[in-house]
Structure 1
Amino acid sequence: MANYIQEIRALVGHKPIILNASGGILLNDRQQVLLNLRTDTHNWSLPGGYLEYGETFDQACIREYKEDAGLDVAIVQPLGLFDQGYTTYPNGDQAQVISRLYLVRPTGGHQLDHATDETLDLQYFSFDDLPPLLNQQTADMLAAGRRYCQEHLD
């Protein structure tokens, strides 16, 4: 995917662009949510990322969970579409990110226990005690996950 974004950036430079992304809420047995510490911004977000050309939101969520967390997941249900995600990356690139959020459940794999090129760390957090987040969209997505838990899992 980086090559696709790099190709776009080669054409438009640092001009703001619109990107589509997908991510998921994965809960442990204490209803804590899994977050990953990002290598690019050094703050926390939900495992997920940008769609590759021709990929669906569902497919991207499943692929990104494997890449970001080492876990195989299945989509349980969609939790919302978030279109007010504005991100400025350390190199100055700006994007409005349209994200599809899902509730997911683990089906296999093993949670990463080492840093990768995208993930420095993975931890479960209580919705009441979240670390510094990537952006407002991440906070909005976590709020939607929290509301779902309160309405359906309590």
Structure 2
Amino acid sequence: MTTPGFIRDLRADIGHRLLFLPGVSAVVFDEEGRVLLGRRADDGGWSIIGGIPEPGEQPADAAVREVHEETAVHCVAERVVLVETLPPTRYPNGDECQFVDITLRCRAVGGTARVNDEESLEVAWFARDALPPLRQFALTRIERAAEEGPAWFAPAAFAPAPGTVR
């Protein structure tokens, strides 16, 4: 994932300290029910498409933009699949980030899947029963996007006692 300019600007002021950031992930299905994946240039692994929203950008718009930027596929966001705060990550350069991932189910509406930027080595459609090796992060999101029902989120750790105001 290329570091957006606004984050590079923040890093100039705060150094490597922990940044809490929004992230979007897109599980894109085509008309045959196949899933769009990209093989990442940074680690060589296959994954769903994702990125960081620009300041003021809505998560659905960011997901649609990231899919097109990385794969040349046009899609529409259909629904929120999952919202999850991920564990902090320390990058090789020492930067520390923690993302709140908003995963959206998307439907392809045009374009031809291809490598469209420097973030991917390959881009391809995969049947759900013929996925390449994927991390649990991507597998969970694909499974939840294929299900019908409400968005998944971790239950609140604190619930006020009945009759109390928080």
TM-score of the pair, normalised by structure 2: 0.74
- Over residues 24-74 of structure 1, what are the superposed CA-to-partner deviations in whole Å (9 max), with x where a residue is unaligned? 111245533211112223322211210101101011011111111111111
- Over residues 75-104 of structure 1, what are the superposed CA-to-partner deviations in whole Å (9 max), with x where a residue is unaligned? 122212121254343433231111111111
Q: 1:73-84 maps to which residues of 2 (within 5 A)?
A: 73-84=75-86
Considering fraction of residues, name the structure with more helix.
1
Structure 1 counterpart of 2:74, from 61, 72, 78: 72
Structure 2 counterpart of 1:106, from 104, 108, 118: 108
Q: Which residue of 1 aligns with 2:120?
A: 119
Q: Residues 43 and 12 from structure 1, CA distance in 2 versus in 1: closer, same or farther, beyond 3 angstroms? A: farther
Considering only CA atoms, is the larger Rg found in Structure 1 or Structure 2?
Answer: 2
How far, CA to CA, are the matches of 2:105 and 2:88 in structure 1?
A: 22
Q: Is the 8 Å Cα contact of residues 35 and 124 (structure 1) preserved in structure 2?
A: yes
**Structure 1: gaps spanning 5 or more residues:** 150-154
Q: 1:4-153 maps to which residues of 2 (within 5 A)?
A: 4-28=6-30, 31-112=33-114, 114=115, 116-127=117-128, 129-133=131-135, 137-148=137-148
Structure 2: which amino acid aligns with 1:138? Answer: A
Q: Identity, % of aligned pairs?
A: 26
Q: Is the 8 Å Cα contact of residues 17 and 94 (structure 1) preserved in structure 2?
A: yes
How far, CA to CA, are the matches of 1:118 and 1:46 in structure 2?
A: 12
Report the 3-state secondary structure (helix = DSSP H, G, I; strand = E; otherwise coil) of the residue aligned with 2:62. helix
Q: Residues 115 and 63 from structure 1, CA distance in 2 versus in 1: closer, same or farther, beyond 3 angstroms? A: closer
Residue-pair matches, total: 146
What's the CA shift for 1:148?
Answer: 4.3
User: Higher mean Cα deviation, 20-29 or 44-53?
Assistant: 20-29
Q: Which residue of 2 aligns with 1:152?
A: none
Q: Residues 30 and 108 from structure 1, CA distance in 2 versus in 1: closer, same or farther, beyond 3 angstroms? A: closer
What's the CA shift for 1:130?
Answer: 4.0
Report the 3-state secondary structure (helix = DSSP H, G, I; strand = E; otherwise coil) of the residue aligned with 1:6. helix
TM-score of the pair, normalised by structure 1: 0.78
